[in-house]
Amino acid sequence: MLIKKPEDIKSSEITDKEVFLSRRLFMRGAALAATAVGTAWVYRQFASPSQDSKIGEKITGVRSAAESASQSTSEAKTALQDITHYNNFYEFSTDKRAVASLAKNFVTRPWTIAVGGLVHKPGTFDIDALRRLYTPEERVYRHRCVEGWSMVIPWIGFPLARILDQVQPMSNARFVAFETLADANQMPNIGTKILDWPYVEGLRLDEAMHPLTILSVGLYGETLLPQNGAPLRLVVPWKYGFKGIKSIIKIHLLETMPPATWNLANSSEYGFYSNVNPNVDHPRWSQRTEQRIGESGKRETLLFNGYADQVASLYSGMDLKVNF
């Protein structure tokens, strides 16, 4: 545990939201073994905000969260600096505070997403064409990580269902698979065996079609930075954060359950569904409480991350302790 003492912090560096729960995973050698270590500590960037702390271009014509009240929370948003400088993106680093710097030169244009599999109209979509085709919306969502920390993020994006409707899923399509770019020239950790690359994820088709499930192209009203998954990432707010696959290049519809990176790495600890559930602990720590970034104390974890009214029906009749 590293604690930065108050006397070590310059007064000019102190902001309103500085308390973090730091959990770090040390993963496999011969067999993957993750150890999460964390506690609340006073967090501050070692360097002052620079070019890499700026969001990209402004996204115009965004439908506000107020207009999409059923898809948003009224909870206080996490500070932009925290959202953009405390990131899980293992292709760049396992150190959450190092990702922003390592990813700052990541190239996100040109960028296309191939959508295929069990669909009637497969296609390849340009990221900028997608942004022009679908009116972006602001969705203020709770974001809960399996390590125990959480944020409230004002995502900008559009429902995944809009693309899926366009490619017209076949009747036997039951799952949606996603794949992240794996470019060793830009992503330093691709050369390691921390995980099997490329990063892959999956949803059941009804989860993917749910109106809460979005593809994000920005946050705080502007385009995503690389460390947050630019140029396109999945956001499924009732699931743990590792389901939110970043920098997507492929979306395929399948009849059978697709592989998911963390489930492949350690299926006993990371289930395919990965719904936020305070009643299902990680084998090595409790999920009953969480540390909201910017708050000094812990809060109770909500079933389905607080979205139970909207999504619980998706799992009617399922044993959530088995299908975790």
Query: pLDDT tens-digit profile of 61-98?
Result: 898 887 776 778 989 999 999 999 999 999 999 999 99
- Going by C-alpha positions, the residue among 301, 295, 285 that lies closest to residue 42 is 295
Is pLDDT at 47 greater than 60 in this prediction? no
The overall average pLDDT reported for the chain is 86
**How many angstroms separate the Cα of 132 from the Cα of each of 126, 169, 202, 267, 319?**
10, 23, 26, 39, 41
**Which residues lie below 8 Å from residue 63, measured CB to CB, with a gap of 6+?**
135, 136, 137, 138
**Can you give the pLDDT at residue 3?**
41
The distance of Cα 86 from the centroid of its chain, to the nearest Å, equals: 12
**Sign of the alpha-carbon dihedral angle for 283, 202, 68, 59:** positive
pTM: 0.84
**Which residues lie below 8 Å from residue 11, measured CB to CB, with a gap of 6+?**
none
**Can you give the pLDDT at residue 264?**
97
Q: Which two tokens stand for residue 259?
A: 């592989």
**Domains of the chain, residue spans:** 6-315
**Can you give the pLDDT at residue 90?**
98
* 44-53, 102-111, 135-144, 185-194, range with the lowest pLDDT: 44-53
Q: What DSSP state is assigned to residue 228?
A: G
Number of alpha helices (DSSP H) and beta strands (DSSP E) in the chain = 7, 14
Decide which of 3.30.70.580, 3.40.50.2300, 3.40.50.300, 3.90.420.10 is the CATH code for 6-315.
3.90.420.10
Place 132 in a pLDDT band, splitting at 50, 70 and 90: confident
pLDDT in tens, 204-234: 999 999 999 999 999 999 999 999 999 999 9
**DSSP-derived pairing of the beta strands 298-300 and 222-223:** unpaired
**Can you give the pLDDT at residue 45?**
34
Place 55 in a pLDDT band, splitting at 50, 70 and 90: low
Q: Are the beta carbons of 224 and 230 closer than 8 angstroms?
A: yes
Is pLDDT at 254 greater than 90 in this prediction? yes
**Can you give the pLDDT at residue 65?**
80
Is pLDDT at 99 greater than 50 in this prediction? yes
- Calpha distance 276→267 (Å, rounded): 16
